Amino acid sequence: MSKRILLSGFEPFGTFETNPSWDALALAESEGLLGDHVSIVKIPVTYTDAFDVFAKAFEAHQPEGAISFGVYGSRLDSASFQKANDLDGKTPASSCIYIESVARNRDNAGKPDNAGVTREGGVIVADAPETIAASFPADSLRHSLKEAGYDCEISEDAGGYLCNHLFYRGMHAFGSRIPYGFVHVPPVVSMNGSLTLQQLAQAMADMANTLAKYSGS
Ligand code: PCA
């Protein structure tokens, strides 16, 4: 019996009309790439509801491993992302999948969420650690994706918007119970990226597989 796995993706936000973090999950499921042990859930891009929707799905499916996905866009040229990833002004390849290894207890984004709320500072969970390390096997996920031919790196900065917000709250609530973490996926071909939705769907299925086989704590 394979382990129960929960995968989440986000709805569209800002100038994006679609969000490949959800579209690729839906495609993977409809094509039967995921298997019955894998459940998927779509997350709203709002500070008030994102975690609640994830937590409800968590309680409903009782996963033994979980990954949340989001798309990256404008964060590529942010100073903190450049610094954390040692990019030194270079633009990372738009096909790169980033395995996020550190969740930060801070909302800090200039752009509003889908309810019009902007949070440019402030802790996410009071009296909780400043950072929490992802509990999923980041190195194994990266290794497996590389073997399959994907461009993939470990990142230490998930930004200050909804992705980091969900990542931190998910880690805080569930990260010590099950292997959990966040993965930032690139924009796809229809958004001027270089991966197709199909390739991304396959990469997500690969990650679910790696996580289902993981026997660490
Ligand atoms: N990406 C955003 C939030 C939702 C998504 O898909 C982020 O990087 O924070």
Ligand 1 atom closest to Cα of residue 10: 6
Q: pLDDT at position 85, please?
A: 54
The tokens for 104 are 């930060």
Positive or negative, the Cα torsion across 98, 191, 118, 53? Answer: negative
The residue-averaged pLDDT of 194-198 equals: 93
Query: Whose CA is closest to atom 9 on ligand 1?
Result: 163
Pocket test for ligand 1, best of 11, 18, 21 (most atoms within 8 A of CB): 21
Ligand 1 atom closest to Cα of residue 163: 9
Structural domains of the chain ordered from first start:
5-213 (3.40.630.20)
Q: pLDDT at position 8, please?
A: 98
* Cα–Cα separations (whole angstroms), residue 74 to 40, 147, 213: 26, 28, 34
Annotate the chain with DSSP letters as a single string. Answer: -PPPEEEEEEPP-TT-SS-HHHHHHHHHHHTT-S-TTEEEEEE-S-TTTHHHHHHHHHHHH--SEEEEEEE--GGGG-HHHHHHTT-TTPPPPTT-EEEE-EEES--B-SS--TTS---BS--SSTTS-SEEE--S-HHHHHHHHHHTT--EEEES---SSHHHHHHHHHHHHHTTTS-EEEEEEPPBGGGT-SB-HHHHHHHHHHHHHHHHH----
Q: pLDDT at position 115, please?
A: 98
Rounded-to-integer distance, Cα 217 and Cα 13, Å: 34
Query: Whose CA is closest to atom 7 on ligand 1?
Result: 163
Q: How far is the CA of 217 from the centre of ligand 1 (A)?
A: 27
Question: Whole-model pTM?
Answer: 0.92
Is any atom of ligand 1 closer than 6 Å to the C-beta of 168?
no
pLDDT tens profile 146-194: 999 999 999 999 999 999 999 999 999 999 999 999 999 998 988 778 8
Q: Specify burial of residue 37 (Cβ count, 10 A radius: 0-12, 13-18, 19+).
A: middle
pLDDT tens profile 10-69: 999 988 889 999 999 999 999 999 999 999 999 999 999 999 999 999 999 999 999 999
User: Residue 77: pLDDT band by 50, 70, 90 thresholds?
Assistant: very low
Is any atom of ligand 1 closer than 6 Å to the C-beta of 138?
no
Q: Which has the closest alpha carbon to 184: 5, 21, 19?
A: 21
Radius of gyration for the chain, computed over Cα atoms and rounded to the nearest angstrom: 16
Ligand 1 atom closest to Cα of residue 19: 6
The residue-averaged pLDDT of 5-14 equals: 96
Nearby residues of 124 by Cβ (< 8 Å), 6 or more positions away: 105, 106, 107, 165, 168, 169, 172
For 86: left if phi > 0, alpha if psi spans -120 to 50, otherwise beta; the answer is left
Q: pLDDT at position 190, please?
A: 82
Q: pLDDT at position 83, please?
A: 57
